Amino acid sequence: MADKKRVLSGMRPSGKLHLGHLHGVLSNWKRLQEEYECFFFVADWHALTTNYEKAWEIPENIEEMVLDWLAVGVDPEKATIFIQSDIKEHAELHLLLSMITPLSWLERNPTYKEQKQQLKSKDLSTYGFLGYPVLQAADIIIYKANKVPVGVDQLPHVELTREITRRFNYLYQEIFPIPEPLLAEVPKLPGLDGRKMSKSYGNSIFLSDSAEEVQNKIMTMVTDVERPKKSDPGDPEKRCVAFNLHKLYLPEEEIQDIVQECKAASLGCVACKKRLAKAIIQAMEPVWEMRNTLASEPGKVKEILHAGAERAREQARSTMDQVRQALWSPAAK
């Protein structure tokens, strides 16, 4: 274990997850947990920066989200899974890092500017929201993470973490490795309507959807718009939204057959989407089974998160001992 590189990533508890999360984030976590020492956590304090007016919604969302993580195979035996707010040390390190983080670094953060623009209905002129990346830096370095799997949207935050970490190491003592972002190749997975799959667009297939829901949703999915009738030849690789899912869920030979039959106008979109729905349902069955088993055991998820917190806390405490030492009583300065 000791020589394994350490990976850390967090997700805000937004409630139930969809196929976009599975193929974009969770399948990557599953790969990483085989190779690295992984810490995966629920960023509930981060959720509070934008949802402080409805703080009570956050705990409900945590359980749903963690059920999804576990159901798809993020494994508490392999990775340390916990809730951010269970480890108070994140808050202490956040405070200390806030002392050394220049305001200008935060004010020019592109996600700060963008989100303030986009979420106009919320008052985000808060101290906490501006400091979002400082808290994220604390999350990362408190575990001395080497690699941080994130999407491109989060790259500015990892860059800020690197700058803050360098500043700490320079001012006090070199105790932190400089973490690196880990960008995964993410397959294209649009929502039912062809836009990015997102809960707020209402175009998602959720991991907790039933077989009927999956079937019904797939049947509403946009196919080749230039193929209004079955007798028109289609071009799935160029124009069919559903075909992005075929590529993820069907075996290679079947995909080839579908392309040919669609181009030859012999396979209709309804029949084609039925095949897709069947394949997705088949792939999801073990996930649903696992989700139901976990959900039917009262206290199971809490128990897993508790055990994860114990492990995480040990590391966070040991780092904070070093941090306080470096700050208050450096051996030689």
Q: Does 12 bind ligand TRP (CB under 6 A)?
A: yes
Residue with Cβ nearer ligand TRP (12 or 18): 12
Question: What is the distance between the alpha carbons of residues 33 and 14, in angstroms, rounded to a whole number?
Answer: 23
The H-or-E segment that residue 61 falls in is helix 57-72
The closest of 79, 10, 78, 17 to 46, measured between CA atoms, is 10
Residue with Cβ nearer ligand TRP (140 or 280): 140
Token pair of 88 as six digits: 């108070």
Token pair of 139 as six digits: 């999350």
Using CB under 6 A, which residues numbered 116 to 145 contact ligand TRP? 136, 139-140
Q: Does 18 bind ligand TRP (CB under 6 A)?
A: no
Q: Which residue of 6, 7, 10, 243 would you call a contact of ligand TRP, by CB under 6 A?
A: 10
- Segment contacting ligand TRP by CB under 6 A, of 99-107, 150-158, 225-233, 288-296: 150-158
User: Least Å distance between CB 40 and ligand TRP?
Assistant: 9
Cα angle for residues 182, 184, 190 (degrees, 5° grid): 140
C-alpha distances (whole Å) from 297 to each of 39, 80, 291, 292, 304 are 24, 20, 10, 9, 12
Q: Does 67 bind ligand TRP (CB under 6 A)?
A: no
Q: Which residue of 17, 19, 42, 43 would you call a contact of ligand TRP, by CB under 6 A?
A: 43
Residue with Cβ nearer ligand TRP (199 or 239): 199
Judge contact between 189 and 18, C-beta under 8 A.
no
Token pair of 68 as six digits: 């999804």
Alpha helices in 73-203 (DSSP H): 89-100, 103-107, 110-118, 127-130, 132-141, 155-171
Residue with Cβ nearer ligand TRP (66 or 140): 140
Residue with Cβ nearer ligand TRP (150 or 267): 150
Q: Does 46 bind ligand TRP (CB under 6 A)?
A: yes
Q: Does 147 bind ligand TRP (CB under 6 A)?
A: no
User: Least Å distance between CB 321 and ligand TRP?
Assistant: 22
Alpha helices in 142-229 (DSSP H): 155-171, 211-219
Residue with Cβ nearer ligand TRP (41 or 249): 41
Q: Does 44 bind ligand TRP (CB under 6 A)?
A: no
Residues that bind ligand TRP in the complex, under the rule CB under 6 A: 8-12, 43, 46, 136, 139-140, 148, 150, 154, 157
